Amino acid sequence: MQLIFRRVKSAFFTIPHTNDWLQAIGLLLIFAFVYLPIGFGLGFLELDVRSSWQTVVSVSLGALFMPSLLEELGFRVLLLPHPAESTSPSTRWLFSGFSWLLFVAYHLHPLVPSFFRTLAFLLGAGLLGIICTLSYLKSGSVWIPIFIHWAIVVAWLLLFGGLKRFHG
């Protein structure tokens, strides 16, 4: 239990450096470059801009808590050794692979909307899990993967048809 508490404390109190934020922007650009053609090509994404301030505020605040904060806490902070922990690279990669598999499998459980179980969604979730893991292992701060996760979810919901999928 002490290990978990130490991980949570380290992840939340590690302040990201400028380079960590720049890497986050780079990872977001890589995600967009890789996933947008896949998502549009598979018919999963569509341009559907939501501009109502109430919707923007509601989605932005809601996505910050769930999925961004809760999923990053669960799949990165609790499952991965913090970079300050003395673990071998092979152990770190083993935990990273296990965490990634659980993250993708989590989107397959029966209580999620059926479109979560589509190839297009799972490819996006898988790529998201990879870049969030890389950013966490590099920065040691949970704030970077929370930001990445939040930015991608908010963009999907407000710009690329995500809200339409939830509402019919």
Q: What confidence tens digit (pLDDT) does each residue in 79-128 have?
A: 999 999 999 999 999 999 999 999 999 999 999 999 999 999 999 999 99
Q: How confident is the model at residue 66 (pLDDT cuts 50, 70, 90)?
A: very high
How much is the average pLDDT of 21-30?
98
**Dihedral Cα 137, 138, 142, 148, nearest 10 deg:** -110
d(CA 73, CA 146): 9
**Position 74 pLDDT exceeds 90:** yes
In this structure, is residue 160 part of a structural domain? Answer: yes
Report the amino acid identity of residue 144.
I
Residue 54's domain comprises 2-11+24-166
Q: Would you say residue 84 lies in a domain?
A: yes
**Does residue 19 belong to any structural domain of this protein?**
no
Would 112 be classed as within a structural domain? yes
In a domain, 18, yes or no: no
pLDDT of residue 167: 87
pLDDT value of residue 48:
97
Flag whether the pTM goes above 0.85.
yes
Q: What's the pLDDT score for residue 96?
A: 98
Q: Is residue 17 part of a domain?
A: no
Structural domain contains residue 147: yes
CA distance 135 to 139: 6
pLDDT at res. 38: 98
Residue 32 lies in a domain: yes
Q: What is the mean pLDDT of residues 136-149?
A: 98
What's the number of domains the chain is made of? 1
Q: How far apart are CA 14 and CA 27, in angstroms?
A: 20
